[in-house]
Structure 1
C-alpha cells in the first residue's frame, strides 16, 4: 500500500507556465520531485492556491500525483507577496479537505515559507510531521533587494518559527544551509542538503547546428542564452552589459537570446522587465544583437539550451537555480554568478566559469575566452554533461528525499487516527497564536 504525502506549494503550481514573474524553479521542483516519489512507493497530493475559477478542485497530474486547489482569497492570480493574509483560510481549507475525504497523510512537505506556516499549523492540530524546503529565505532576499522586497517583515519571524517546528529542513546547497544556521539559528542536526535536479528524458544533448536552424538562428553566430524569470534580481542587465564588453573584443557575429516573460510574445507592456532591458540595450547600442522570445513551453526549452553556445545567469543571489543544470545536461557550459546554488552546481574552470554578479567587464572577458577557444569549449561541454548526470538528476534527488521521509516516519509513533478536531476547533486553536492575533483574523 502506497504511503500518502501532502505537498504544500501555495503559489507555485506545477500547472503554471515557466518564465513568468512567479513561475520558476519551485514549480519544476515540486512537479518533478512528486513524480519521482511515486517510484519510491508514495502517493502525493500537491496543495496549491485556487487562482482560476474555471479549474476544478482536484486534477490528476499523473498516476499517483494530484493537484488539489484550496480556496484562499479570490480565485484569481495574485502576486505571491500579497497572499500571506489568506494563508489561514488556506490552512482551514486544507484541514477541511483532509477531514471530508478521510485521508491520513503520513507526512507534509512544505515548499516556501508560507507553505511552512500552514504546515506548522496543521502539525499543531493533526500531529502530522513536516519537512520544509524554503527555496528562498526572507532575510537573504531583503539583504539584496532592500525596499524592492514586497514581503511583510513578519516573514522573518515566521521563517524562524517554521525552522524550529519542522522535523527536517532541506537545504538545497551548502550556502543555503549556512544561511539557515547563521540567519535563522536552525538546528544543524535537523538540516539535510539535497540539491535540485534535472530530468534526463527532458534535457539531453542535440546537434547544435540543427538546433540553431530549428529555432531560426544563424548557425555562424555565437549564441548566448539567458532563460528564466524576467525579474530585476536575476541580473539580466549585467548580461546585456557583458554582451557589450564582448563585442569590444570580438568581430564575429554574436546574439544574446532572452527567453521568458508573462506572454508568449515578447510584449513589453505585459513584462516590464523586457521594456527595461530593451531600453538598456538601446542605450548601450547593442539592441540589434539582443533577441527576446517571450515565454516558451517546457518541451521546447531543450532546443534553446542546445542551440546556445553558452548559457549565462548572473543573479544577485540564487538559492539554487535549476536552469544551469538543464543547460549543462544539454552539453552547454554555464557562466554564472558566484553565489548560492550556482557556485555549487557550476564547477569553475571545468564546466564553465563563476563570476561576480555585477562585473560585466569580467563577464565579457569570460565570454570571449570561451568563444575563442574550441578546446576549452569542448572540455566544458563534456564535463557539464558528466557532472549533472552524476550529481543532479531527479532520480538521485527523489531517492535522497525518500530516505529523509523514511528517517522521519521511522521515528514517529502513534501519530495517526481519525481527525478529532473540527474546523471550528481548528480556528479556535490557531486564533490563540500571537502571530494570528497580530494579523487581526476578524478582518480577513
Structure 2
C-alpha cells in the first residue's frame, strides 16, 4: 500500500534522529517506520522549515519525507501557519498528482485543510483519514489559550472517510459535534517499549539507586515549564514531601534555562518555598538519554491541565515507574488507577503530597505499580500494535473485491 502522511506543522526527521521534539513528530516517525516494516511504502509530506534539510529525506527502508516549500524556509509560530496553509495545499496537490497514493492520512487541523483541498484538486478519488491529537473544545475546557476551531474540526471530521483520535474522550467530543461514531476510531498514542524499558545501563550523571533506607524519594516530571504544564503545583507539592527531590525534565535547552522566563519563575517560586535545594530543572533532553533519567527516579508525576498524547506517562510506565497523574486527556486510558499508579481529579499540592508520602513509605506498592505499568505499556501501547491498528483502519477503506494495493518490494521499478 502506498501511504501518504501529511503533517504541515510537525517534521518526523528530528524524532528520527532522537532529538527533543513534539509528540506529533514522535507519532509520525514511529507509525511510519512500523507501517514500512509491515510492507507498505510511506511518504510523509511536511512543510520545509529548515534550509539545512534536503527536500527529500529517507528514514530507512520504505519511508521518505518530502519537504514542501510553503512560505519562508524557517520554523513558524503556530499563529503563522494558517497564512501558508494554502501554499502548502498547492504544493501537496502537485505531489499527490505526480505520485498518487492509495490513502492519505492527515495529522492535525491545518494538515486536514491542506489534504482536503489537495485531494479535491488532484482529480483522483483518494480515501482520506484524519487524525486529531488534540481538539479545540478540550483545550478550551482546560483553560488553554488558542483560537476556536470547533466548527472547523467538525467539518474536517465529517469530510474524512475515517477519523482517528487518541482517546474515548475525544471520540465522545466528536460525537457531540455531530460526527458519526461509525467513522471514528480510537487508536491511542504509543511508546517504544524497547528504548523505554526497565532494563538498561544506569551509569551517568543521573545514576540513582531506587529509594532505600536513608535515601530521598526521587520524583520526576517530563513536562513544559509554562503555567499550563502544572509545574507550579509540582514546586508547591515539594513543601509537603520533605524527604524527596524533584527533577523537572523539559522546556528549553539547558543552556537557555537561565534566560527562560518560565524557568526563572519556577526557580524563584522554589526559593520562596524553601525547596530550591531539592529541585532540579534539567532543560530539554535528547530522547536517547531520557530512559536513563526516568529509570533513575522512584515516581513519575504528571500535573498538566490537559494532555492529549499521554506520551510521557507511557514512557515512564515502560521504564517501570509508578505514575501519579491528573486524569486528563489520554492519561485516563494509559494509567489504570490502583494498578499502574494513581489518577487524580485535580493537581492540588496537598493531594499530591499525601499520595507521594504514602508511596514513599510503601516500596512494595511502588514496585507493584511499576511492574504492572511496564507490562501494560509494552503489551497495549507498543508502536508495532498502534501501527497495526492504523493499518486496519486503512484497509477498511477499500472494497473487499478491490485489488490489494502494492506493497514495498512488489514493484518492478
Under a length normalisation based on structure 1, what TM-score does the superposition of the two structures give? 0.84
Cross-structure match for 2:299? 310
Aligned to 1:50: 48
Would the aligned equivalents of 2:187 and 2:390 in 1 still touch at CA under 8 Å? yes
Output one character per residue of 1:189-223: Cα deviation in whole Å (capped at 9) or x when no partner: 1011111111122111136xx73x52245543311
Tell me, in whole angstroms, the C-alpha distance in 2 between the residues paired with 1:259 and 1:196.
20
Q: Within the alignment, does 1:257 sit opposite 2:247 as a pair?
A: yes
> Aligned-pair distance for 1:307?
0.6
- 1:160 aligned to 2:154? yes
C-alpha distance in 2, partners of 1:106/1:255? Answer: 52
Cα distance in 2 for partners of 1:412, 1:187 equals 25
- 2:277 — aligned with what? 288
Equivalent residue number for residue 379 of structure 2: 390
CA distance in 2 between counterparts of 1:245 and 1:55 reads 48
Mean Cα deviation higher: 9-18 or 382-391:
9-18
Tell me the residue number matched to 1:201: 194
The answer to whether the 8 A contact 2:92-2:115 is kept is no
Q: 2:109 aligns with which of 106, 113, 116?
A: 113
- Structure 1 contact 215–303 (Cα < 8 Å) conserved: no
**Aligned equivalent of 1:365:** 354
Compute the displacement of 1:15 (Å): 2.3
In structure 1, which of residues 131, 141, 149 is the aligned counterpart of residue 129 of structure 2? 131
Partner of 2:409: none
CA contact (8 A) 1:4 1:44 kept: yes
Cα distance in 2, alignment partners of residues 64 and 404 from structure 1: 20
Report the Cα distance in structure 2 between the residues aligned to 1:159 and 1:413, rounded to whole angstroms: 31
Give, in whole Å, the separation in 2 of the partners of 1:216 and 1:188.
Answer: 46
Asked if 1:243 corresponds to 2:238, the answer is yes
Who is 2:8 aligned against? 10
**Secondary structure, in 3 states, of the residue corresponding to 2:143?**
helix
* Cα distance between partner residues in 2 of 1:115 and 1:78: 15
Deviation of the 1:143 alpha carbon: 2.5
Residue 134 of structure 1, CA deviation: 0.7
1:223 to 204, 218, 221: 218
Shift, 1:136, TM fit: 0.5
Match of 2:370 in 1: 381
CA distance in 2, matches of 1:19, 1:139: 30
CA contact (8 A) 1:19 1:262 kept: no
Q: How does 1:66-81 map to 2 (within 5 A)?
A: 66-81=64-79
For the 8 Å contact 1:91–1:121, the answer to whether it is kept is: yes
Q: Does the CA-based 8 Å contact 2:208-2:296 persist in structure 1?
A: no
| TM-score calculated relative to the size of structure 2 | 0.90
Distance 1:85 1:347 in 2: 42
**Across the two proteins, how many residue pairs are aligned to each other?**
395
Give the match for residue 164 of structure 2.
Answer: 170
Rounded Cα–Cα distance in structure 2 between residues aligned with 1:411 and 1:273? 54
Distance of aligned partners of 1:19 and 1:239 in 2 relative to their CA distance in 1, 3 Å threshold: farther
SS at the partner of 2:240?
helix
Asked if residue 98 in structure 1 is aligned to residue 96 in structure 2, the reply is yes
1:191 to 165, 184, 189: 184
Cα RMSD (Å)? 2.1
